[in-house]
Structure 1
């Protein structure tokens, strides 16, 4: 079974992935690592960390789709999380392999900006966190962009009948709901 968790930056994807990895005893992979591999290893492919998430997803989809299909064929259990998947892209794979994929998306469409800013700072992983040294205005702009992206994802999930979890309110409970959904 492949567990796929996608959505916006700072919505809880990694937390969900780590919880499932621990409960299922399986490994997880972040598509962020893949994007940084393209950014630093093969920049000529035009996939890099400065693109908006939907651009990264569209440019990397053929690669990810082939990787997912290979993993499905190999019958491995894995959790993959990151922004580089969109509902309108993943739906084709789900229709082809409905019993081999569990998918959800997370975002925040109605978050309090000041509270989200505080949470980004409070829950930073220190120097390994790419936002750790950014000024408040940069972080605030990022949050606003992710709210807009969350709204697009939520709309696409509804259109394609995929599960969307909004972490705007009750973050911890919503994360637990997403984990329970994927493990059901």
Structure 2
């Protein structure tokens, strides 16, 4: 995986300049969901060569492993779709109102967004951003024939279905 230093780091990893956990409110007020997604896609492209190496190493070692994260884009992981030793599943939410309500319920529950925001206007902006991501992943998984579970309704049931899919 290439190592980026100096000015290249900011170019390939825009979140370095965009995000500060001590200022989550400012982050959601300053950047739209589209801007955040664009930054994540740029970072995903930067780390994908290293991710391929990790996946291929785990396959060669015959190790069961779960790799998760926003940087695992459907158009990248599709190359493993027909590998019998790899299962790919995406979890997403696309109902903005339900995303918002879920964020409100997650206060003091280990949720990095809710535990670091101070007012509901920011929670609304966060929900809008998550909606943008959800629509992107739903569209992209459909385009590449990858399994995607929408989890805003019957969350535990959907997690169980995703787990069953991964085990079969």
TM-based fold match above 0.5: yes
Task: Flag the structure with higher helix content.
Answer: 2
RMSD: 2.6
Tell me: higher relative CO, structure 1 or 2? Use CA pairs within 8 A at least 6 residues apart: 1
Q: Does 1:165 align with 2:165?
A: no
Q: Which consecutive residues of structure 1, in runs of 5 or more, have no partner in the other structure?
A: 1-37
Task: Flag the structure with higher strand content.
Answer: 1
CA deviation string 1:126-184 (max 9, x = no partner): 56725412132222212212212211211111121110101132222111111111111
Larger Rg: 2
With over 3 angstroms needed to count, the CA separation of the structure-2 counterparts of 1:125 and 1:176, relative to structure 1, is farther
SS across alignment from 1:102? coil
Structural mapping, 1:63-78, within 5 Å: 63-78=50-65
CA deviation string 1:19-59 (max 9, x = no partner): xxxxxxxxxxxxxxxxxxx9xxx955732364533333222
Equivalences, count: 140
- Measure, in 2, the Cα distance between the counterparts of 1:171 and 1:126: 16
Task: Could you list the structure 1 runs, at least 4 aligned residues long, displaced by more than 3 angstroms after superposition.
Answer: 42-46, 48-51, 124-128
Q: Which consecutive residues of structure 2, in runs of 5 or more, have no partner in the other structure?
A: 19-35
2:81 aligns to what? 94
